[in-house]
Amino acid sequence: MAVYKALTVAGSDSGGGAGIQADIKTFQELGVFGMSVLTALTAQNTNGVHGVFAVPPEFVAQQMEAVLSDLGTDAVKTGMLFDSSIIRTVADKLKEYKVKNYVLDPVMIAKGGAPLLLEEAVAAVKEYLLPLSTVVTPNLPEAEVLTGMKRIETIEEMKEAARILHEGGALNVVIKGGHGTGPQVTDLLYDGDTFIEITADRFDTPHTHGTGCTFAAAIAAGLAQGMSVPDAVKQAKAFITAAITHPLGIGSGHGPTNHWAYNRCEK
Ligand SMILES: Nc1ncnc2c1ncn2[C@@H]1O[C@H](COP(=O)(O)OP(=O)(O)O)[C@@H](O)[C@H]1O
Ligand SMILES: Cc1ncc(COP(=O)(O)OP(=O)(O)O)c(N)n1
């Protein structure tokens, strides 16, 4: 049996809905062996982020070395990276180990408003990580910050943002439409040549905690298994749509998505 492996480099969400925990659950559900490098611990639940404890960059490097020098990986996904020293460390290790299939989820702010990336670190994301990425997956506010565009709402504006991020070095760009409005939610994939719109009905629910993490981890899982980028993104969209439309209803705030749903619930 071939064993495909994926590594997430991200923060811990003690509530289990986002971050490392969402990524590992997604890898497991999609048949990929999951490994993790922690960049920060968050004291977090469905009501928000109550504390952040960043991991020293030297220890982030030590974790990456431990995993990559022994197990190796078929894909890497990064999420919460918090500051520029962690970003530079991660970029150095991705280059040192010649990582292929790198999914960059440029996590900036949790849904409750807590910063998961310091402002000083935005330039480092663009300079060090974007050029290494196979796929970058910003939501609309993150795409505004990364491109400098004042407003990204329409499909034309999403296309313009995708072009800028592709020029910035990403091989493929997915602009996620979850923060938009309207009865449908469209994610836009751009490979420097063709635009593909991937659309689903917008599901009316407060339980969308960890959607971006789960979606990016699912892309990484597909790439780890040798899928093309469009196929991996389409599978990820089906995975997150199932997870959102079969909510678990746990916690008193914005609850987690259902990582079992893709395999266990009727589509
Ligand atoms: N209410 C919703 N109904 C259906 N799909 C959604 C909904 N909200 C987000 N999604 C999907 O979840 C994924 C993550 O999107 P988004 O919420 O924009 O990211 P983030 O969690 O990074 O803010 C995307 O594929 C998006 O289309
Ligand atoms: C530890 C950690 N990492 C990332 C996030 C953000 O996750 P995301 O999928 O963007 O979901 P929301 O926070 O927007 O619900 C996080 N909260 N914690």
* pLDDT (0 to 100) of residue 133: 98
Mutation choice for ligand 2 from 105, 209, 214, 259, CB with most ligand atoms inside 8 A: 209
* pLDDT (0 to 100) of residue 118: 96
Q: Whose CA is nearest to atom 15 of ligand 2?
A: 209
* pLDDT (0 to 100) of residue 267: 67
Query: Hey, what are 83's tokens?
Result: 């500051």
User: CATH code at 33?
Assistant: 3.40.1190.20
Atom of ligand 2 nearest to the CA of 110: 13
Number of domains making up the chain: 1
* pLDDT (0 to 100) of residue 212: 98
This complex has an ipTM of 0.97
pLDDT along the chain (267 residues), means of 10: 96 98 98 98 97 98 98 98 98 97 97 92 98 98 97 97 98 97 96 97 95 98 98 98 96 96 87
Mutation choice for ligand 1 from 203, 208, 213, CB with most ligand atoms inside 8 A: 208
Please spell the DSSP secondary structure of the chain, one letter per residue.
----EEEEEEEEETTSSSHHHHHHHHHHHTT-EEEEEEEEEEEEETTEEEEEEEPPHHHHHHHHHHHHHHT--SEEEE---BSHHHHHHHHHHHHHTT--SEEE----B-TTS-BSB-GGGHHHIIIIIGGG-SEE---HHHHHHHH--S---SHHHHHHHHHHHHHTT-SEEEE--TTS-SSEEEEEEE-SS-EEEEEEEPP--S--BTHHHHHHHHHHHHHHTT--HHHHHHHHHHHHHHHHHS----SSSSPBP-TTHHHHS--
Based on the residue annotation, tell me whether 251 is a catalytic residue of this protein. Answer: no
* pLDDT (0 to 100) of residue 265: 87
211 lines ligand 1 (CB under 6 A): yes
CA distances from 138 to 90, 145, 178 (A): 19, 10, 10
Based on the residue annotation, tell me whether 19 is a catalytic residue of this protein. Answer: no
**Nearest ligand (C-alpha, residue 176):** 1
Based on the residue annotation, tell me whether 265 is a catalytic residue of this protein. Answer: no
Q: Which domain holds residue 85?
A: 5-264
39 lines ligand 2 (CB under 6 A): no
